[in-house]
Amino acid sequence: MQDTLEFEPTAYHVQKSNEGAALDITDFNLWYGQKQALFDNNLEIQKGQVTALIGPSGCGKSTLLRCLNRMNDLVDDLRIEGRITVDGFDIYAKGVDVIALRKRMGMVFQKPNPFAMSIYDNITYPLRVDGVTKKSILDETVERALQQSALWNEVKDRLNDSALGLSGGQQQRLCIARAVASDPEVLLMDEPCSALDPIATARIEELIEDLKGTYSIVIVTHSMAQAARVSDNTAFMYLGRLIEYGDTNTIFTNPQKSRTNDYVTGRFG
């Protein structure tokens, strides 16, 4: 089982090549019980770029995102068809080690969800569940992850304080630090700014700008302005279908489909 997807637990940072597809979604369908939520989605997430998923509520963008690290496995009565591949491996194939897969995909959630532990323990959590106990590696990871999430200067003196004492924006950046701690290939962000004020949002957006290149980022967002600001590519989804996917500039200035045009110009949604 471990062989299907190999993962190095010691999370030294490696520069990845920025070419080709990080994730390839092919003919992907999904049902919650009898109700179909995703219809024939085809999407190629480019390595090292920011891909935004936009669309009105209930269009399936979060569902699609949560399929990428198989977070939807927790839902009962779920059925899928089609393929999602990472480097050619089908992540829904039989015998895939889901845990190893999730280690390759950092995830940031809508609401900051730091664990009730110290800042240090929060960030080292992905490594510790992997059995890493060496203090030097843990220390190094904490500093690197906090530097990457632009939180180092604010918390370096209180790493052993509870993470719950941080402000909402800091907590969300901590969650990003936690997501990048195990040095994943892809960062999945599920409306990471929806619970934050504009200043904290701006900081997270700066952060996304900094992180791209190092990681392939998939971000679900409600804010078209945010998608326009941070993403390289944008996918517009509507009622479970991928309507249009392409370069962000093109989607926002010269969409091919009228429905995309209606949405990005604010005529509905």
**Positions that interact with other proteins (CB under 8 A):** 57, 69, 71, 74, 76, 99-100, 102-103, 105-107, 109-116, 125-126, 129-130, 162-168, 171, 175, 178-179, 182, 188, 195
What is d(CA 67, CA 50) in angstroms, rounded to the nearest whole number? 18
CB of 86 to other proteins, least distance (A): 14
Tokens of 254: 């010269």
Tokens of 63: 């569902």
Nearer to other proteins, 38 or 188 (CB): 188
DSSP 206: H
| CB 105, CB 179: distance < 8 Å | no
CB of 107 to other proteins, least distance (A): 4
First-to-last CA distance in the chain?
A: 43
CB of 126 to other proteins, least distance (A): 4
What region does 36 belong to: left with phi over 0, alpha with psi -120 to 50, or beta?
beta
CB of 213 to other proteins, least distance (A): 22
| CB 182, CB 101: distance < 8 Å | no
CB of 40 to other proteins, least distance (A): 25
Nearer to other proteins, 151 or 179 (CB): 179
Instruction: For 10-162, list the strands marked E by DSSP.
Output: 21-32, 35-46, 50-54, 78-86, 89-90, 105-108
CB of 147 to other proteins, least distance (A): 19
CB of 158 to other proteins, least distance (A): 14
Instruction: For the chain, list the strands marked E by DSSP.
Output: 21-32, 35-46, 50-54, 78-86, 89-90, 105-108, 186-190, 216-220, 233-238, 241-247
Nearer to other proteins, 188 or 255 (CB): 188
Amino acid at the residue 68: L
3-state helix, strand, coil in the chain (%, to 5): 40, 25, 35
Nearer to other proteins, 78 or 164 (CB): 164
